[in-house]
Amino acid sequence: MIDLTTTIEIDAPAETVWKNLVDLERFSEWNPFICRGSGTPAVGATVRLQVKTTIPVPLVFHPTVVVCDENRELRWRGRFLSVWLGGGDHTFAIEPAPSGRVRLVQREIFTGLLPALLHRLVSREARAGFLAMNEALKKRAERPQGVDGATVARPAPSPSTSN
């Protein structure tokens, strides 16, 4: 078993972070780790995720959503061919942090024969992917948003006057 956890603080409301986590169709626009996604995250639903690693083989998973607690937790469970060969329980938890920020905790528990045999490889690839995704989500969630979610330009600073 491999238990891997990463965290990042994001200067954005939980609603903004959540909106980006559950919009799987837009993962290809910003997510360097889960580079493609489809489906609707709802308890009992199956989603499709393509993970990008340094291994030159596309990894596609079809996990089942087990928790979808709006603005708090998204969790899915998947397997690689069969549960005994490889399985994963992936959680995104959004927690309050100081000064109106949130803390994103991304955790996965890998089980089965392949994670046991390839412990170093799985740990290295997953940790790098989680960290890259965390940073990309932070950048996306912290950018100024327009009403439609499009990035808007920040106003230019007003000229200062000095005497």
Task: Indicate if the pLDDT at residue 40 is higher than 80.
Answer: yes
* 1-15, 21-35, 106-120, 126-140, range with the lowest pLDDT: 106-120
d(CA 160, CA 100): 30
Q: Which CATH superfamily is domain 2-142 in?
A: START domain (3.30.530.20)
Listed by start position, the domains of the chain span 2-142
Cα 121 vs. chain centroid, distance in angstroms? 20
β-strands 34-38, 73-80 pairing: unpaired
3-state SS track over 7-42? EEEECCCHHHHHHHHHCHHHHHHHCCCEEEEECCCC
Closest CA to 50 of 67, 65, 33: 33
Decide: helix, strand or coil at residue 86: strand
Q: Which residue type does 130 have?
A: F
130 backbone dihedrals φ, ψ, rounded to 5°: -60, -45
For the stretch 123-142, pLDDT in tens is 889 999 999 999 999 999 99
CB 108 within 8 A of CB 49: no
